[in-house]
Amino acid sequence: MNIKKLLGGFAIGLTLTLLIAGCGSKTSSDGQTIVIGSMGSDAQIWKHIAKSQAAKDANLTIEVKEINGGVVTNNATKEGEVDVNAFQSWGYLVSYNKDSNANLVAVATTYLEPMGIYSQKIKDIKDVPDGALVALADNPANTSRGLKLLQASGLIKLKDSFDEGVGSVSDIAENPKNLKFKLIDDTTGPRVIQDVDLVLIGNTIAMEGGLNVLKDSIFHEEVSVDTKSSINVLVTTSDKKDDPGILKLGELYHNDDTQKYIEKEFGGSKVPVNKPISFLEE
């Protein structure tokens, strides 16, 4: 046997083994390494968790991989480039799985970023005048979410057939105050407050505009069955959903140190939600 060919084959086999071992979650005598795909404020939070004593005590090494774009991040999770991701709501996950014929699964709830109703002209939701002009986000998911919030506030009533994914103003069954609606690019929400009576703004955009949903809105979402589709979740693949290290991430997110950090950084606008996944599936 040619010794060079034998050694060459061994080297190739070893390289392949190392490459395979290098993908995704890794376990060694030094503990488990988990790669999290995330973005924006979520990535900031997970970088804090990665450096925490709680992560060390759990024998976990957390690597945060920042990825721009929800679909790209979910695709990276599906393809094993990351082990788990932290950026999306339950409703977004359900929609992604349906559109992509994928089977990503949620393993823990994290928070609700409330959508709020804002106004510079009205101080109380009960004082909304007849014929008020309301600005809604011009994209299906946030238009629907905004309409549900208006219903929760008591300003409108939606049809029983209302579809959370594609609902529109045509689905309003009762509009006792004869509200008028204007669809806007949702990123402009903080800038149009002075031009309308009411504007509905998602929390990320509100924060970027210097608004705190708990202090500055006149009405906002609260954690309930009605807002479950807006609750954020940790997501992985079905074959990793029972991985002890990945399941531990939910505990790390909700521990006292992490929650104090989030409160300090985001002023309470990321409302913690520590509920079983079955709550979302009901």
pLDDT in tens, 29-64: 468 999 999 999 999 999 999 999 999 999 999 999
**Is the confidence at residue 276, as pLDDT, over 80?**
yes
**Most confident by average pLDDT, 28-32, 45-49, 162-166, 227-231:** 45-49
**Is 266 contained in some domain?**
yes
Segment 178-199 mean pLDDT: 96
Tokens of residue 151, six digits: 């219903």
Residue 253 banded pLDDT, cuts 50, 70, 90: very high
Verify that 65 and 198 share a domain, yes or no: no
CATH number at 215 reads 3.40.190.10
- What pLDDT is attached to residue 167? 82
**Is the confidence at residue 161, as pLDDT, over 50?**
yes
Cβ atoms < 10 Å from Cβ of 123: 9
What range does the domain containing 44 cover?
Answer: 31-113+228-281
Residue 268 — φ and ψ, nearest 5°? 80, 5
Question: Can you tell me whether residue 224 is helix, strand or coil?
Answer: coil
pTM exceeds 0.85 for this model: no
**Is 7 contained in some domain?**
no
Segment 177-198 mean pLDDT: 96
How many structural domains are present in the chain?
A: 2
**Is 72 contained in some domain?**
yes
Give yes or no for a contact between 233 and 276, defined as CB atoms under 8 angstroms apart: no
- What pLDDT is attached to residue 26? 61
Distance CA 73, CA 85 (A): 7
CA 253 to chain centre: 14
CA 154 to chain centre: 26
Verify that 217 and 120 share a domain, yes or no: yes
Segment 1-12 mean pLDDT: 43
- What pLDDT is attached to residue 154? 97
**Is 6 contained in some domain?**
no
What does pLDDT average to over the chain? 89
